[in-house]
Each structure stands twice: as C-alpha cells, then as structure tokens.
Amino acid sequence: MTLHGARVVGAGKTRFGLWAPARSRVELLVTGPYEKAVPLARGADGYFTGVVENAPPGTRYLYRLDGGLSIPDPASLSQPEGVAGPSEVVDTAFDWKSPYWLGLPLGETVLYELHVGTFTKEGTFDAAAKRLSALKDLGVTAVEVMPVGQFPGARGWGYDGVFPSAAQHSYGGPDGFRRFVDAAHARGLAVVLDVVYNHLGPEGCRLAELGPYFSDRHRNPWGAALNFDGPDSDPVRAYFLQSALWWLDECRVDGLRLDATAAILDVSERPFVAELAEAVSALARRSNRLIHLFAEHLLNDCRVVRPREMGGWGVDAQWGDDLHRSLHALLTGERAGPYADFGTLGAAAKALSDGWVYDGTAYSGWRKRTVGTSAAGLPGRRFIAYWQNHDQVGNRPDGSRAASLVSLEAHKLGLGAVLLSPYTPLLFMGDERGERAPFHFFADFSDEALRRAVREGRGRELKAHWGWEGVPPDPFAPETFAACVLDESRPPTLSGDRTAAYVRELLRLRREHPGLKDGSREKTAVSAADPVVVMGRGEALVLLHFGETVFSGALKLPPGRWRLILDSADDRWDGPGAQAQAALSSDGSAAVRLAPKSLAVYEAAR
C-alpha cells in the first residue's frame, strides 16, 4: 500500500497519505475544481491517511496542518502552479504506444546527457522527443535526462528540486515526461533519469515542518542531511524509495542516475543506496525488464558497484572523474582545483587501464589525503566515462565547453579516448558537433535574499573547490539561461557535420568491431610512451597522440600485422590530413607516424 502522496484507487476515489509525526491534525483541502476540507486519520506511526470520494485525476489539493499552515504534498506527482501551488492528483494509467520495450543491456549502453530546458528552443519534453531520432542515428543507445523533479520557477539545472516525484510543469509535467519516455522506446532508446536524493532545494521545501526528515547528526554541502540512518528514518527512506519506483515502474524509465551519493550520509548497516539497488533489482525481475542504477560517486569506492553478495551496494555502474580529469589536464594544460592531481601521460594511461587513477595507492594533493580503492576485477561496463559532462562545463565561471577550450583535433582526441575505452561512455549534449554555446549555472528562485546568497556562495565555491578565478554570469538573469540553449535553427557548419560523422563512426566501431565492443578490461592493455598512449583492445589497437607536432618513431605494439581503419586527422573528419600509415607490422615494436593531437585505430589483419 502506498504510504506517501496521492494514488487513485477507484472511480473518482483517491487515497491520500502524509507522514507528519510532528503534527497532531492534518486536513486535505481540495482547491479545484471545487473546494472542500476532509480530515485525515492519524495513525500511531505518524501517518495521516484517508480515501476521498470525488477526487479524480486533475483534482488539486493542499494539506492543512493543525488548522493553520497549508502546504503542497511533498510526494506530489504534479505541481502545475509551481513549488508553492497546490498539488494535482495524477492518473498512474497511461496510454503507452511502446508497451513491450524491455530495456537495454548495460554492455550496449552509450549515454547522452541532456538538459530538457536548453536542449531545444521550446525547452519541453515534447520538443526534446522530436530530436530523439537524430540521437539514434548518431549511435546513442540511452538518453540521460538531467533532474526534472519540480524546482522553483522555469529555469534551473534541476538539482534544487523540492518535489522529487513531480515532473517539472514548465517542461510538460508527468504526461509530457511519459510521452518522452514512450517516444524514446519507440526509437529503441533507453531513458535514464538523474534523480537527487541527497538534499532538497532551499525554496519550497516544507519537510522539516512535518517531522524528522532531516538528520541532527549529519551535515552535507547543502546543510542538514536527510535522515537516512537515525531514529524514524524508515519513513524517510520509504519516501525516496517510492519516488524511485514511481519513475521506474509507472513512468517506465530504464534507469536512474543517483546524484552525489557520497553526500547521502548513511552509516547504517544497510545503506539506503544498497536498499534502493535491491528494490530496483526486484522490480526488474518482477517486470521482466532490464533496469539499471548508476551512482555519481566520485570517491573511487569499489563497494558501490560490487555485488551485494560480495559486500557491495549492487549498483550497476558509477560515474568517475579520473579519465575526464586526465584528458582535460593533458589537452587544456589547466591545473586548477582537481586538475592539479592530473596532467601526466601516465595518469591518462592508468585511467584507461585501471578504471581510475586514485585507487588507494596515491596521495591527492587537491583532496589532501590518499583516495580511492582498487578496481581490480570490475568489468569496464561498471565505469561511466566522459570527456565532459554538465558539471565540468557549468562549474566554470564562463561555462565554457571543451570545444571552446581546445582545438578541434584535441576535442576529437578527447571524444575518441572515451568512446573507444572499455567503459560505458557518456556524451554531453552538443559534444557530437563541437558545440560552443556555454552551459552556465542558472536558477529561478523568487526570494531576493536567497538569490543574493546563491550569487555570493557560487563565487566562493568556484574559487575554493575548483580553483577558478573570475566572476560567473548572474545565474538569475534570463540572458544567462538563454545563452545556453542549443539552437537547431542555426545553419549547420561543415566542421560540426564532420565532427558528428566522426562520432557516428566511432560509435559504429564500438558497436560492431569485435575488439571494441568487448568491455572486458582483461583484454585491454594500456601503455604510455611520451607523447603517445597505446591501448590494445584485443583485435583492435588505439593510438592516442597528445603531442603538438607530428610524431614519427618506434612504439611498443602487440606483435602482428595491423590495418588502419580510422585516423582522426583525416579530412573526412575536418582534420588537417591523415598521417597514420595504412598498415603496420610489429614484432613487438613498429615505426609509427601520427598527426598532432590525433587518434588512430588499427585492426588485426588476417
């Protein structure tokens, strides 16, 4: 039985539930299309419940607490008037056009991260759905949507949401989101939703007035941590478990990306993330679907993705920044903030070979401690790798994308290193055509004091955490948001088209080539000989040249005859001209020629 929120239970009947142990009396206030007040029964456990007649889908309502304050439903599935307005009863039934989609194997997953509000000029689920065919044609197999839980106003990244189960109304609400998921499935694309269960936003959150939803023992970067492990934590965990299952079961999402799981502070014997992974596995078995759970856990902790039978949390894959930071530091020369720990060819080689660079054996000067654990035995698909994502772009004062920071050849090299790695790759929207529009941090809070605090705090954070100097654009200015919108009406450029063709070819090779489609790290051998990283992938050989001038010299290569199948410097990809030889013959070493900042792919010649 559902304990949190509103669920339709019959013709015109809806069951309402609110956990509010700090309150002695709760009434349901129907505010539309008519008005009435209905007392809810209080249970000994602090849950207020009741079944209300004449409350069909579309009914709007609030909860009145102890005869005074009226608030929206914290477990709302729809907030058509924003975070301060009444909640809306949602029909869980939906007219699915692709009801038999069963999901996607993790080993076939190629993620494309997008922000609904800036992905198109319209900024809606329906508009984003119209571009899904182009992503399918590119070779993407899964769309990862940045958080859509209702947040204040109409502009935001989504990480300041306060209704974790209500799809943002300005994007199209719950029906618009389900249409988007349905459209993706119709095109053979999986959908992964980014969810935020480590905190709630500062504007519109009323949980603290209901009971011990927050901990008095833990604090995270956003203030008091959510109560996942203290007294009365079971209903709090149930609140977020119910949210996850709403998206996965009723909205048919194929996976969740859990934001900043290291900030879900939980020292219990059964961590919340592990409990969620169990619930997701049970749903997958029950529904005969492939459903995945990804964690943004940047501490290089192998327990996150180890099976529960081996003492792990049982998450399917985790984000890791080490490959990004290695490539970024090498190709941009930046050493600010976390990039101070990277920048060597050896670090890039280790990231491509071992999953992450900091594995418990090295001291991080940025973190000022030894970081990480060994990833030995973990298959490549357990690591999510990227050349950049929303954080690395948006957490710069100028919001610059990689294509604005490096040459086209370096951009293609960074993309190729990720897409041909043994890991689960992720593209950030626009990567495929070298997008140069910035991706700033933006928000739409209404309270001026909160706006001022965010402006000041943002500047301090960028300096303290990332080491960046400079003043970022005002996150609340409409023009800051407008600058980030991807404008498909602009005439395509030759460079953009050729870069997209290059990405399409890399993904084809990854999908079809026997050496590149095998995510086994045991079959991946990586070595570094300045300025080249050699990555053997079974029957494929990837040469990554980070130098500024043409490389001509001997490299240690796997013995055998090798045939060139791709050179990123080829003019087909808008390069300066291919330099790599059409064939190589190695007795353990071979003479190699490579264009500056280029990638060459060879296959074993039979």
For residue 144, indicate whether it is catalytic.
no
Closest CA to 71 of 272, 262, 261, 210: 210
For residue 113, indicate whether it is catalytic.
no
| Residue 116 in tokens | 């609904």
| Residue 358 in tokens | 């900091």
Catalytic residue among 73, 88, 229, 296: 296
DSSP per-residue string spanning 512-526: H-TTTS---GGGEEE
* b/e 553-577 (16+ beta carbons within 10 angstroms → b): eebebbebebebbbbbbbeebbbbe
Q: Distance between CA atoms of 410 and 434, rounded to whole angstroms?
A: 11
Beta bridge partners of 603: 540, 563
Q: Distance between CA atoms of 547 and 551, rounded to whole angstroms?
A: 7
DSSP E strands, 178-268: 190-195, 214-220, 223-226, 255-258
Cα angle, residue 354 at apex, residues 603 and 313 outer, rounded to 5°: 120
**Backbone phi and psi for residue 277, each to the nearest 5 degrees, phi listed first:** -60, -40
DSSP per-residue string spanning 75-96: T-S--TT-TTS-EE---S----
Residue count of the chain:
606
Q: Distance between CA atoms of 365 and 338, rounded to whole angstroms?
A: 9
Q: Which residue is listed with tokens 């207020």?
A: 48
Q: Distance between CA atoms of 282 and 288, rounded to whole angstroms?
A: 10
Catalytic residue among 113, 194, 259, 574: 259
Residues annotated catalytic, as ranges: 259, 296
